[in-house]
Structure 1
Amino acid sequence: RATLEGFERFKNKQGLLENVEGWNFLDWVAGWDTGIPPTALEGSNAALNWQLVYGYKLATDLESKIGEPELAQLWQRRAKELSKIITKKFWDNEQGLFADDLAKQHYSEHSQILAILSGFLSKEKEQEAFRALISNKNLSQTSYYFKHYLFEVYRKFGRADLIFEKLKDWDIHFELGLKTTLEEPEPSRSDCHGWASHPLFHAYASILGIRPGSISYKTIEIKPLLANLENVRAKVIHPKGLIEIKIAKFEQVLNAKITLPENTNGQLVLANTVYPLNAGENILENIA
């Protein structure tokens, strides 16, 4: 709360973040000075402003779940206000995406990603930003760490195929004989940087789709995005035991065996169909 509140003093008369003190690192991107996005030091940058909106969104969700509706309303109001200003100032109608700077000279994947994840775009602009994200080759590209957020966008749009395609960027680790992940693409300052290990998270949370269905993991949601995978097996640690999954896919039909810990329940989500899951063994056959 104090961190979010602290950004208020860096908002200019227009309501945008401007000249925020400290190291405004966003990602290791070629052409960005020490990881700082364009115009962040001498003005406003869209990605940094969308990052604050995304923070407001997460705070809104958390405050709601812990029983602080008034604070949830505060963060939501600030998110709506800032998102409207960012869209008005940084949206490029001609190109159908967000610029990084007010002069619309710089463009990045980062601004599109954070705008989409904020949840405050209209459906039309969300679709346009996503199209630009996956098709515009002139955008500044995300490096290893920020691809976590890129994968979150791919998950939002149900595009596991794009996750698998981008995972090829990690192949260099095998070629170099590394057993830990690089900080950034070669030449890298560090050969052991945890922030590039998020494919381990996404293997379970995005491809298998196992995530908490409610606060404190009281319920479990399983929303797999298998792409071309035909057989998957996994065990995931839960506070009350193990979640075990076995899925076999033949064409568009699935057979699944899902075991949940005692005193839990959840749901399997496939396309627009929800299948309730109970504690213990759940057998689902010939489901689409």
Structure 2
Amino acid sequence: MRQFDHSRDSDGNILGAYPLRSTFIYPTYSLVWVDMIADYYNVSGDKEFIHTYKDGIVNTLAGFEKNMNELNLVNKTPYRYFIDWYTGPNNGSGTATKNDGENSAVVSLHYVHALQNAAMLFKEIGNDLTSLVYQNRAEEIKKSVYDLCFDMETNIFAERPDKTIYDQHTNIMAILTDAIHESEQRALLDKILNDKDLLQATYYYRFYLFEAIKKVGAPELFDVALRPWEKMIEDNMTTTLERFESIEKPTRSEVHPWSASPAYFYFNYLAGIQSVKNDFEEVRIAPAFGKLKTMVGLLPTSKGTIEFKLNRTKNKLSAEITLPNTMAGNLSWQGTEIPLKKGKNVYGIKNEIK
């Protein structure tokens, strides 16, 4: 995060790789840097960290704002908006539009996502005015995306206002940013997971798909989103591919970390282990299971390793959880919060910790 901050140019763009002799800029990656700051804060609770990068956040978002047009959607830029390695007839070299991203709904919603994270960060450090400015701008763009790109006949978002291209990506980001009302998000998620005519999110972008599943509380859909990785295992892969294979665009890399997001969500979402204070000084464990009945694992953290054995029988839970001596936390199940002590905790059908 520090190196990306150092790479910023005068327009607020952050280099996609740094240090680098050439100018490698995807404006969407600059937005992801803001999201990274928010992710780090959510784990660490370190407000001083926000102060370190607040000027950079302002600079980057102001730079991206220059890309917006009178429709509150993005314009073309000298640089390419990268979203995903789309395959098939609509491959636009990283965007779905084939028109350099002009009026792209998904790119506009990525800007909303960064604005929302920035609004949260500035509110946390007491800068309510800047937080409100970002929050209001996010609402304006969301409304425009909904008014211009939501298809009332199919009840999904198109990728641009002419409604010629439809992808999973735009709809995933619509859920994450609340561009569609919360009460309609689960139905939209079901639709995009089952509509094979939509341009599909590849490995990298399924990080956001897992986040959408987590947001709407639908762990039973996790294995549907996981199927491309099952195909990798069937193909005898032991490391993760960069993108989906196709005749026109075969994968360039068979060892690509950005495709490893299931390894994060197994722990963070299915096992439900999340830091709530000072980078795992305190944790909350809220298992989601999905279609699983048993989970066993080890989660290394900066405060030591968490060991867990979780079993579900109908709506009942039995658990063995071992916390390091540097950690405290709670087990959350069926609306009940159960304190966890340092060392080994055994939780049984009788709802008691031993």
Preserved contact between residue 222 and residue 290 of structure 2 (Cα < 8 Å): no
Compared CA separation, residues 231 and 180, structure 1 to 2 (3 A): same
Aligned to 2:60: 3
Aligned pairs, number: 288
**Cα distance between partner residues in 2 of 1:161 and 1:130:** 12
CA contact (8 A) 1:97 1:112 kept: yes
Give, in whole Å, the separation in 2 of the partners of 1:272 and 1:32. 45
* Residue aligning to 1:189: 252
Return the offset for 1:65.
3.5
Q: Distance in 2 between matches of 1:143 and 1:271?
A: 34
Q: Check the 8 A contact 2:281/2:303 in 1, yes or no.
A: no
* Counterpart residue number, 1:155: 214
Once residues 235 and 126 of structure 2 are traced to their aligned partners in structure 1, the CA distance between those partners, rounded to angstroms, is 49
Please report the TM-score for the alignment, with normalisation by the length of structure 2. Answer: 0.74
32-41 or 105-114, larger mean C-alpha shift: 32-41
Residue 250 of structure 1, aligned match among 294, 297, 313: 313
Q: Tell me if structure 2 keeps the 8 A contact 1:39–1:45.
A: no
The 5 A counterparts of 1:237-276 are: 237-276=300-339
The offset of 1:188, in angstroms, is 1.3
Mark the runs of 5 or more structure 2 residues left unpaired by the alignment: 1-56
- Residue correspondence of structure 1 range 39-118 to structure 2 within 5 A: 41=100, 43-118=102-177
Taking the aligned partners of 1:217 and 1:59, their CA distance within structure 2 comes to 23
Q: Which residue of 2 aligns with 1:170?
A: 229
The change in CA–CA distance for 1:66 and 1:258 in structure 2 (over 3 A counts) is farther
Deviation of 1:218 (Å): 4.2
Aligned twin of 2:340: 277
Structure 1's consecutive aligned runs of 4 or more residues displaced over 4 angstroms after TM superposition are none
Identity %: 28
Q: In the TM superposition, what whole-angstrom CA distance separates every residue of 1:187-232 from its partner, at most 9, and x where no partner exists?
A: 3121111111111111111211212224644432222221333332
In 2, distance between residues paired with 1:104 and 1:237?
A: 46
Q: Which residue of 1 aligns with 2:284?
A: 221
Tell me, in whole angstroms, the C-alpha distance in 2 between the residues paired with 1:244 and 1:42: 46
Structure 1 distance, partners of 2:108, 2:200, is 18
Matched residues in 1 for 2:183 and 2:293: separation?
A: 34
- Residue deviations 1:213-253 (CA, integer Å, cap 9, x gap): 24644432222221333332222122222222221222321
Deviation larger for 70-79 or 189-198? 70-79
Cα deviation code 1:150-194 (max 9, x no counterpart):
111112233333222332312343344332211112231211111
Equivalent residues of 2:319, 2:347 under 8 A apart: yes
| Equivalent residue number for residue 21 of structure 2 | none
The answer to whether the 8 Å contact 1:18/1:44 transfers is: yes
SS in 2 for 1:10: coil
Paired with 2:162 and 2:336, the residues of 1 have a C-alpha distance of 45
Render the CA deviation track for 1:34-88: whole Å, top value 9, x for unaligned: 1212165262011111111111122223333445444332322221221112111
**TM-score computed with the length of structure 1 as normaliser:** 0.89
Q: Which runs of 5+ in 1 are unaligned?
A: none
CA–CA separation in structure 2 for the residues paired with 1:136 and 1:84: 25
* Cα deviation code 1:107-159 (max 9, x no counterpart): 11101100111135322442442242233332111111111111111122333
Higher strand share: 1
**CA distance in structure 2 between the partners assigned to 1:202 and 1:236 by the alignment:** 12
Amino acid at match of 2:145: I
User: Which AA in structure 2 matches 1:248?
Assistant: N
Q: Which residue does the alignment assign to 1:141?
A: 200
| Structure 1 residues 119 and 283: alpha-carbon distance in aligned structure 2, compared to 1, 3 A threshold | farther
Distance 2:292 2:238 in 1: 25
CA–CA separation in structure 2 for the residues paired with 1:213 and 1:85: 35
Moved more, 205-214 or 37-46: 37-46
**Contact 2:92-2:99 within 8 A present in 1 as well:** no
Give the 3-state SS of the residue equivalent to 2:348 in structure 1: strand
